[in-house]
Amino acid sequence: MPDQTHVRAEVSRRQILQKILSGAMVGVAAHTGIRLAFPQKGYAQSSLSPDAALHALLAGNQRMVANRPTSIAHDLTILREHTADKQEPFAAVLACADSRVPVELVFDQTIGHLFVTRVAGNMMTPEVIAGLEYGVAVLGIKALLVLGHSGCGAVKAAMTANAAPGQISVLYQHLQPGVARSGGNIEKAIEANARIQAELLCTSSPVIRDAIKAGELKVEAAVYDLATGKVTLS
pLDDT digits (tens, 9 = 90+) for 35-59: 334 333 334 556 899 999 999 999 9
How large is the average pLDDT for residues 87-107?
Answer: 97
Is pLDDT at 148 greater than 50 in this prediction?
A: yes
Tell me the C-alpha distance between 183 and 165, whole Å. Answer: 27
Architecture of domain 36-233: 3-Layer(aba) Sandwich (3.40)
pTM of the predicted protein model = 0.80
Percent of the chain with pLDDT over 90: 71
Is pLDDT at 69 greater than 90 in this prediction?
A: yes
Among 78, 104, 79, smallest CA distance to 92 is for: 104
What pLDDT was estimated at residue 9? 41
- Give me the residue spans of the domains in the chain: 1-34, 36-233
Cβ-Cβ contacts under 8 Å for 6 (sequence gap 6 or more): none
The pLDDT tens digits for 11-29 are: 444 443 343 333 333 332 3
Is pLDDT at 3 greater than 60 in this prediction?
A: no
Is pLDDT at 89 greater than 60 in this prediction?
A: yes
Cβ-Cβ contacts under 8 Å for 192 (sequence gap 6 or more): 177, 178, 179, 181, 182
What pLDDT was estimated at residue 79? 85
* Cβ atoms 216, 52 nearer than 8 A: no
Give the start-end residues of each E strand in 105-217.
114-118, 143-149
Chain centroid offset of residue 228 CA: 18
Q: How many secondary structure helices (H) and strands (E) does the chain include?
A: 10, 5
